[in-house]
Amino acid sequence: MGKLDGRVVIVTGGARGQGEQEARLFAAEGARVVIGDVLDEQGETLAKELGSDVARYVHLDVSQEADWDAAVSAAKDAFGKIDGLVNNAGILRFNELVSTPLEEFQKIIQVNQVGCFLGIRTVAPEIAAAGGGTIVNTASYTAMTGMAYVGAYAATKHAILGLTRVAALELAAKNIRVNAVCPGAVDTPMTNPAQLDPGADPAAAGEAVAELYKKLVPLGRIGRPEEVAALALFLTGGDSAYITGQPFVIDGGWLAGVSIV
Ligand SMILES: NC(=O)c1ccc[n+]([C@@H]2O[C@H](COP(=O)([O-])OP(=O)(O)OC[C@H]3O[C@@H](n4cnc5c(N)ncnc54)[C@H](O)[C@@H]3O)[C@@H](O)[C@H]2O)c1
């Protein structure tokens, strides 16, 4: 028996990285998954690999209202209902606050924060109609503390915790639980752009990343997207039945405090 037998879950940004691992793990645990992304080729390939009885890909730019409506229709056409959502899609840009163009700031808000809001607003009524379920929002450790050069991103991740808490309060009566994951550094194309550069020497890039996180993170390494997927599974499944409105840090101990060794 799977931990998500009978569930139907939309995973945004599900074509690669953490979202891909969430889609894979949820499917392995018995859920049917709707993978939404703007990377159509990668998303289609993943859905095909998982099988049409288990997965569908939909083009879903989370910043666009109309895309959300279309995704919900596609999910219901394919699987009859929706009772789970993982708001995972996100973008990161590095810039000093005083050098950040307004357009860049607004773009990050539009995808990370407005995208999360639109997901909750569009999908929560469907989850309620299905009798209840779960929403997992993807924040970040930069939702819990500051980090230089990612001001716009950190602002959106703080906002996602606000949305999570308010949604949990407003949706509890409809039997919908809403929680947030707050990953530290996780080995995906977002933090390791070398993964995307066919010209880069993967061994050298990998070694540089390993060295960096050995120093920074108490557990001595960067996180794996599968580990974040396991937390999202916990928050989507029945094992977390009495938990709502909470942020969950998954960062190898990075935020535990200042280390002098
Ligand atoms: N990797 C990390 O270290 C880390 C740490 C903390 C939080 N996060 C968060 O985890 C989530 C997943 O990131 P990841 O590390 O897997 O990065 P990633 O870049 O590998 O994956 C992000 C996915 O979101 C998709 N996406 C981007 N814009 C979109 C849009 N407008 N609509 C729909 N999909 C869109 C991308 O195409 C991609 O598939 C993000 O919200 C990110 O902010 C990542």
Q: Which one is predicted more confidently, 209 or 75?
A: 75
Torsion of CA 90, 157, 235, 61, to 10 degrees: -30
Q: Of ligand 1's atoms, which has the minimum distance to the CA of residue 63?
A: 31
C-alpha triplet 170, 173, 177: angle, nearest 5°: 70
Residue with tokens 């990612």: 150
Task: Determine which helix (DSSP H) or strand (DSSP E) holds 10, and give its type and residue range.
Answer: strand 8-12
Q: Is the pLDDT of residue 244 over 90?
A: yes
Give residue 226's pLDDT: 98
> Can you tell me the mean pLDDT for 236-250?
98
Distance CA 140, CA 48 (A): 30
Q: Of ligand 1's atoms, which has the minimum distance to the CA of residue 19?
A: 16
Give residue 208's pLDDT: 80
The best mutation among 62, 188, 250 to test binding of ligand 1, ranked by most ligand atoms within 8 Å of the C-beta, falls on 188
* Count helices and strands in the chain by DSSP H and E runs: 8, 7
Considering the chain, what percentage of its residues have pLDDT values greater than 70? 97
CB atoms within 10 A of CB 124: 20
Q: How confident is the model at residue 195 (pLDDT cuts 50, 70, 90)?
A: low
Q: How confident is the model at residue 204 (pLDDT cuts 50, 70, 90)?
A: confident
Q: Is 189 in the pocket of ligand 1 (CB under 6 A)?
A: yes
> Can you tell me the mean pLDDT for 192-208?
72
Q: How confident is the model at residue 192 (pLDDT cuts 50, 70, 90)?
A: confident
Average pLDDT, the chain: 96
Q: How confident is the model at residue 196 (pLDDT cuts 50, 70, 90)?
A: low
Q: Of ligand 1's atoms, which has the minimum distance to the CA of residue 112?
A: 41
- Name the pairing type of β-strands 55-59 and 84-87: unpaired
User: In angstroms, what CA-CA distances link 32 with 7, 19, 47?
Assistant: 6, 14, 11
Q: Is 62 in the pocket of ligand 1 (CB under 6 A)?
A: yes
Catalytic, 57? Answer no
> Can you tell me the mean pLDDT for 182-210?
80
Total length of the chain = 261
Give residue 57's pLDDT: 98
Q: Is the pLDDT of residue 199 over 80?
A: no
User: pTM higher than 0.95 for the full model?
Assistant: yes
Distance CA 32, CA 189 (A): 25
Domains of the chain with CATH codes:
8-186+223-251 (3.40.50.720)
Residue with tokens 């606050």: 97
The best mutation among 41, 87, 136, 190 to test binding of ligand 1, ranked by most ligand atoms within 8 Å of the C-beta, falls on 190
Distance CA 164, CA 17 (A): 22
Give residue 260's pLDDT: 79
Contact 244, 148 (CB under 8 A): no
Lowest mean pLDDT: which of 37-51, 54-68, 199-213?
A: 199-213
Q: How confident is the model at residue 198 (pLDDT cuts 50, 70, 90)?
A: low
Q: Is the pLDDT of residue 179 over 90?
A: yes
Distance 88 CA to ligand 1 centre (A): 6
Distance 13 CA to ligand 1 centre (A): 6
What is the side-by-side strand order in the sheet with 247-250?
A: 55-59, 32-37, 8-12, 84-87, 133-138, 176-183, 247-250
